[in-house]
């Protein structure tokens, strides 16, 4: 079924009996041209673009649990392209452009909401840094506005501007930024890839990667051996574990990033706001809850839950920015496992093992990068060479010194 206003109206009168599954829950075949390990946003997007852009349809996506069970369903839904350094700027702007037409491309309501992303500044030095970033964005054709205190107050009057430890002086606004429904991104890409012939195989954990004469020939899974000419790894926080199967040690660490949601409220905040004097960000979901988060936990972990020290730090940042949050109840919190690279920028590259490709190291930026990540990873796999947009995201840049140090914090907590 192709979704349209007419088809939805027709289905409303028929009831639920005629709704079909969104994608084929396929059984594994003996072999594929390409296997993508990881049924999250990046893996599913890669499979979609392999089929759509490169005509490679004999593709399987292997997910150890169910589609969307990893970080794609555990993030805070923010999308933006307000980057500064040359390696990141064109890549994230490409992602922003793909977000803007995603729903038409995949014929699925991903709830793309360009409500704006406002980064607050609290000192003269921070203002100058944001002015530099905004100028860099505009030179590259990306929208950016440097706001003074009065302009910010008009947008978000409920913040603590004056009676605060860190008075708000202004902010850098990207109006094209905003939020996208994370679950719908996974479901939409899964549906679109499946419609183009891709096999999406759930509950299929990879237990080994087979090699012959220095090249990958397939993977061992909990559902048996599956042959493949090429294998792409897009497993976020589990990247080191998968790489260890072929004796690779990656320049990343796995840390937990905790997110929170409050009880439901009437419409209160219609943009995304980040705190410039600490790591705290907040927006409001369509269901009414305030969605917010902060730093990663400061130690390595594969647990999908945070600790009390981080929870306290996030709450302190929220209260310093917006004292009214103290009247709300936190409904729940959860964690995603981040694969933190040493320079804070991702890796999209082929490895030294023929037929094996890596998509990892996304740090805080994985969700916003989903479309461009899939687009570039698919190009790299199909052509055995990087796209111009991911040419800087080489695996060997940590050995050569050609790092892309956007934040200067790498795998450490993002202290401003």
Q: pLDDT confidence of 225, banded at 50, 70, 90?
A: very high
**Could you give all domains of the chain from N- to C-terminal order, each with its CATH number?**
24-81+83-108+182-251+343-400 (3.50.50.60), 117-176+253-341 (3.30.9.10)
Predicted model pTM: 0.96
Beta strands in 234-388 (DSSP E): 252-264, 272-274, 281-284, 289-300, 330-341, 347-350, 356-360
Helices marked H in 165-291: 182-195, 239-244
Maximum separation of any 2 CA atoms in the chain, in Å: 67
Mean pLDDT of 19-32: 93
Task: Give 355's DSSP letter.
Answer: T
pLDDT classification of 14: cutoffs 50, 70, 90: confident
Token pair listed for 121: 């500044």
Angle made by CA atoms 272, 274, 280, in degrees to the nearest 5: 120
> pLDDT tens, 53-108?
999 999 999 999 999 999 999 999 999 999 999 999 999 999 999 999 999 999 99
Ramachandran area for residue 107 (φ above 0: left; ψ -120 to 50: alpha; else beta): left
What pLDDT digit, counting tens, does each position of 127-163 carry?
999 999 999 999 999 999 999 999 999 999 999 998 8
């Amino acid at each position: 079924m192709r979704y349209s206003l007419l088809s939805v109206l027709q289905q409303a009168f028929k009831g639920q009996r005629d709704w079909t599954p969104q994608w084929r829950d396929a059984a594994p075949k003996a072999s594929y041209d390409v296997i993508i390990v990881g049924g999250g946003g990046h893996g599913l997007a890669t499979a979609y673009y392999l089929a759509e852009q490169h005509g490679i349809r004999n593709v399987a996506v292997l997910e150890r649990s169910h589609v969307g069970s990893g970080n794609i369903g555990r993030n805070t839904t923010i999308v933006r392209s307000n980057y500064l350094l040359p390696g990141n700027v064109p890549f994230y702007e490409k992602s922003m452009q793909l977000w803007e037409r995603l729903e038409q491309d995949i014929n699925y309501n991903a709830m793309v909401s360009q409500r704006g992303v406002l980064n607050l500044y609290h000192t003269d030095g921070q203002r100058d840094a944001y002015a530099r970033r905004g100028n860099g964005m505009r030179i590259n054709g990306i929208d950016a506005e440097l706001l003074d205190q009065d302009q910010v107050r008009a947008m978000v009057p409920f913040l603590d501007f004056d009676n605060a430890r860190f008075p708000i002086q202004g902010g850098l606004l990207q109006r094209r930024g905003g939020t996208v429904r994370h679950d719908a991104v996974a479901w939409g890409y899964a549906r679109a890839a499946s419609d183009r012939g891709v096999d999406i195989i759930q509950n299929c954990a990879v237990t080994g990667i087979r090699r012959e004469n220095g090249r990958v020939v397939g993977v061992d899974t909990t559902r048996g051996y599956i042959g493949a000419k090429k294998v792409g790894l897009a497993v976020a926080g589990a990247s080191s574990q998968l790489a260890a199967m072929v004796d690779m040690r990656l320049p990343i660490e796995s840390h937990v990033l905790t997110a929170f949601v409050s009880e439901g409220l009437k419409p209160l905040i219609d943009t995304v706001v980040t705190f410039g004097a600490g790591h705290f960000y907040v927006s409001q979901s369509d269901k009414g809850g305030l969605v917010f988060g902060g730093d990663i936990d400061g130690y390595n972990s594969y647990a999908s839950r945070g600790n009390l020290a981080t929870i306290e730090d996030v709450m302190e940042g929220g209260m310093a920015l917006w004292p009214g949050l103290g009247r709300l109840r936190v409904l729940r919190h959860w964690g995603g496992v981040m694969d933190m690279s040493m320079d804070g920028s991702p890796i999209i590259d082929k490895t030294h093992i023929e037929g094996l490709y890596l998509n990892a190291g996304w740090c805080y930026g994985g969700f916003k990068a989903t479309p461009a990540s899939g687009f570039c990873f698919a190009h790299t796999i199909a052509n055995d060479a990087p796209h111009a947009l991911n040419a800087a995201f080489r695996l060997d840049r940590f050995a050569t010194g050609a790092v892309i140090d956007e934040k200067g914090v790498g795998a450490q907590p993002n202290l401003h």
